[in-house]
Amino acid sequence: MARKDGERSFDVAWPLADAKARFSELIDTVEREGPQVISKHGREVAVIVPVEQWRRATARTGTLAEFFAASPLAELTDDELRLFDREHSDPAHRAVEL
């Protein structure tokens, strides 16, 4: 199966019917070996991950203000920031109403 750059490839995927029929075994495998892929009609459609791994991956760190302060845009000068301002943008570009 073709993958996009940066996508992780799994050697084995559980066909959906097997995952349903052997759900307890699937969960045991997740606990023992880590994330498990579920496939449907030969296409990878889901991943079951251990809950602690999910919590680590989705945990928020810091505040929104800290996120913006760490942004590379925080170091731009006023002139550089104007490049992103519609009122000061290149007049050759026209505004489009959606």
pLDDT in tens, 23-50: 999 999 999 999 999 999 999 999 999 9
Q: Is the pLDDT of residue 69 over 80?
A: yes
Domain map of the chain by residue range? Answer: 13-57, 60-88
Q: Label residue 5 by pLDDT band (50, 70, 90).
A: very low
Token reading at 7: 């996508």
More confident of the two residues 3 and 53: 53
Average pLDDT over all residues of the chain? 83
The residue to which tokens 């006023």 are assigned? 78
Task: Determine the 3-state secondary structure of 37 from DSSP.
Answer: strand
Looking at the whole model, is its pTM more than 0.75?
A: no
Burial 15-46 (b: 16+ CB within 10 A, else e): eeeebeeeeeebeebbeeeeebbbbeeeeeee
Q: How far apart are CA 35 and CA 49, in angstroms?
A: 4
pLDDT digits (tens, 9 = 90+) for 43-64: 999 999 999 999 999 988 888 8
Class for domain 13-57, per CATH? alpha beta
